[in-house]
Structures are given as structure tokens and as C-alpha cells.
Homo-oligomer: A and B are copies of this chain.
């Protein structure tokens, strides 16, 4: 029921391309969903894809090209003539068509537009930022005037049937195109043809402004369980519609970005990218880690005298730095997730810090005692060092908690993805902080003990 691509099937397919076995290709692609054909094309060379796409019906070809990864699509479309691209766009939903046009080089974009059959819808969408509601919306939807009857709505649906694949609701507007409400398609089915739209429409409709951020739109649609949401301008005039499949992509992409930010991967890469792309995406964060590590080395060097006096101090360096890192990531991750959840009341900064402090107090106390016990039992003699380590751990937990709580809040204020706070940059900073605390505590306690 769900197609799974196997190496065997792929080999047959490649073979058919090379022997130009059009019968094989047409008969197989005919029964496959465009998303499955995309998965096959992902594994082939550009000229092989080009050949297969040439054999497909216009609509399927347009669906596949809309599905492609942006970076692959840019290269791919350059192998087509502008008029051919325009022909593809004629079969593409306006939101995807606008995205595709925005990716093209300026000159090619103009040439393509000059060949598009109905350029107005797409041109309307071109100027919106791709990560706001305007950049996500499509022009394909069904509107009804408040003065219409059910039969007039049905006629409108018939007129639009080819353009609008999924209808969900009919949006009700007045003569100035101001959004008044919606009529569920179920209601149309169940009411008489002569019933007035004004009598059956629901005036409580949730809409978004074209300038609202895509994550805000995703939150609203998820909160209210909507499968489509109308987009309006500041005068509440209906501009377009965002459907849930686009929002699903927004949510998945955001989650991937957060995880990559935490892992210290700087570009949007995938495991099957080239070795060179993968290395480049990973190097920047590793080098930042190097700089941090070198600073750490310099810093420990300042305490060389102390290390010579108590060489066992070096043993606990990894314990201290790892604890700072772990606690910092835990704290920042909780704040990042709370920031993403816009449903409830956001806690105030002071309440957050206070709570973070209490949690750190408990955790710092428990691990301090744990390590003290373990150290005394295992090493026996070195009581002062054991106390130094445990007290330093306690301080590290508290300070890393507070840093982990504040950093994502600050990043968020400056519109940087707060998930970066759970990434290697902050972990490196926490390492240094941990070392500073450890050696300061040691200096203090050892001098007191002497």
C-alpha cells in the first residue's frame, strides 16, 4: 500500500532509462504516486531525471519538481528553457510556483514569467518573505460572496474544480473582499440549493495576517486543529490560504534546525550530502571548540603552580567540564521548549531564574554529596581535594543552570534561534566557566587549609 524503494527496483529503472525502454518507464510511473517517483529520481543523475520527466504527464511532472530539494531544483531547472519552466509552472500551485521563481536567477525569472499563462496569481506572491504567512499561502481556494446561494457556491466550486485540489471550506467575503467567515463543504452538501450563504456561514473564523511569522501560523493551526487557514491583509481582505501540508513541512524543518543547532552543524545538511559539504558544515563548530580548548589550556596554565602542588587536581578536570556542559544543555533545552510553546502564559524572567536556581540547588547538592562520598571511599586520604571537587561541582551546577536559562532568552530577544544555546558554542563557554570555578575554589580552600 505504501511504496518502498529497493536497490533492485532502482537498478531495473536505471536499466530502462539507459535502454530507453519507454514502455517500462511509462507503465511503472503510471501506477506510482508522484512522491514515490521523486524518491526514485533522487537517486539518479540529472540527465536521467530529465529523460524520465519528459515521459510523464504535465501534472505529475509539475508535482515532482515542486517536491525536489531547493538546491537540486535550482541546478535542475537551468537545464530547461524558460518556456519549458513556464509550462511546468502552469501546472504548479501558486505558492510553489512563487517559491520556484524566487530561486531562479533574476534574468531567467523574468523570461519564465513572460511565458506563464496566468502570471498575476504568482506575481502577487513573489514579494512575500518565504518565512511569513504571505510566503506560505497559495492563491488556490474557493470564495463565495455573502449574498450568494448554495447553488452559486457549487457553481463556483465547479469553475475552480481543476485549480483547487482540496477545498475544506469555502471562504465567505463581502463585496469588498473582506473575510466574513466560512462555510464547511459538508454544509453545502446538506443544504438546499436555494439556501442563502448568509444563513449558513460561520462567522467565527480564525485567520492570520500576511506578515505573521510561519512559526506563529504553525502554532495557531496546531492549537486550533485547522487543516487550512485564510490569510488576510491589514484591511482584513482575503489574500490566500495556507494548507496543513505546508505547515507540517515548517514544523519538521524547525525541529531539524533545532537539533542541528544543538549538535553544532552549521548548514542544513543531510547524511547523503557529499563528504566535502559535510566536512564544511561541521568544521566551524569544531574550530570554535578548538579555540575554547586552547583558551582552557592557557587558563589551566595560569594555575600550573597549584597543579604541581596537588597533581591529583588534574584528574577531576573532565568531571568539572562535563558537568557544566550537561547542566547548561538541560537548562537551555527546557527554556527553548517553553519558548516554542506559545499557548499558555510565559513565566517572567525572575520566576524562571528563581526556579532554575532551586532545581540547581537540589541537583548540585545531590551530585556534590555523591561525588564527595565516592571520592572519600575510593581515594581515602585526599579529604581537602574531595571537598574542593564537590564544592566546585555544586557551584558549577548553579552557575551553568543560570547561564543555560538566560542565554536562550537573550538569543530569543535578538531573534536568533534559541536552540543555538544548547549547542557547542555555549558548551565551550561553560567548559571555561567550570575550569574558572574549579581552580578558584581550589585556590581558596587550599589557602584556607594551609
Binding site for B on A (CB under 8 A): 1-2, 5-7, 10, 31, 33, 35, 38-39, 42-43, 154, 157-158, 161, 166-167, 185-186, 188-190, 204, 206-209, 220, 222-225, 227, 244-245, 248-249, 251-252, 255-256, 258-260, 262-265, 269-272, 275-276, 278-279, 282-283, 285-287, 289-290, 292-294, 296-298, 300-301, 304, 307-308, 311-312, 314-323, 325-327, 329-330, 332-338, 341, 343-345, 347, 352, 355, 358-359, 362-363, 366-367, 370-371, 374-375, 378, 397, 422, 424, 427-428, 431, 435
Contact = CB atoms under 8 A, between A and B. Distances in A.
A364 to B, nearest CB: 9
A326 B431 contact: no
Contacts of A278: 334, 355, 359
10 nearest CB pairs, A to B: A293-B319, A255-B255, A263-B333, A271-B338, A314-B314, A297-B315, A279-B362, A225-B245, A296-B318, A300-B315
Q: Is the interface of A mostly helix, strand, loop or mixed?
A: helix
Contact of A338 (B38, B185, B270, B371): B270
B347 A322 contact: no
Contacts of A292: 319, 322
9 contacts: A154-B190, A263-B330, A285-B326, A286-B327, A293-B322, A294-B371, A300-B317, A325-B325, A326-B427
Contacts of A207: 1
Contact of A322 (B262, B304, B321, B397): B321
Contacts of A308: 311
A114 to B, nearest CB: 31
Given A282-B363, A367-B290, A186 B185 contact: yes
Contacts of A265: 330, 333-334
A153 B195 CA distance: 20
Nearest to A1: B207
A224 B34 CA distance: 8
Contacts of A252: 222, 251, 255
Contacts of A298: 315, 378
Contacts of A220: 2
Given A301-B315, A321-B322, A347 B189 contact: no
Nearest to A278: B359
Given A285-B326, A287-B367, A319 B294 contact: yes
Most buried by B among A258, A279, A371: A279
A262 B258 CA distance: 11
B208 A2 contact: yes
A89 B301 CA distance: 68
A279 to B, nearest CB: 4
Given A244-B244, A286-B367, A359-B275, A43 B189 contact: no
A191 B378 CA distance: 83
A1 B188 CA distance: 25
Most buried by B among A304, A307, A317, A435: A317
A313 B371 CA distance: 24
A337 B268 CA distance: 11
A275 B344 contact: no
B39 A343 contact: yes
A44 B100 CA distance: 48
B258 A326 contact: no
Given A275-B355, A314-B300, A189 B154 contact: yes
A259 B423 CA distance: 12
A378 B290 CA distance: 14
A5 B344 contact: yes
B208 A186 contact: no
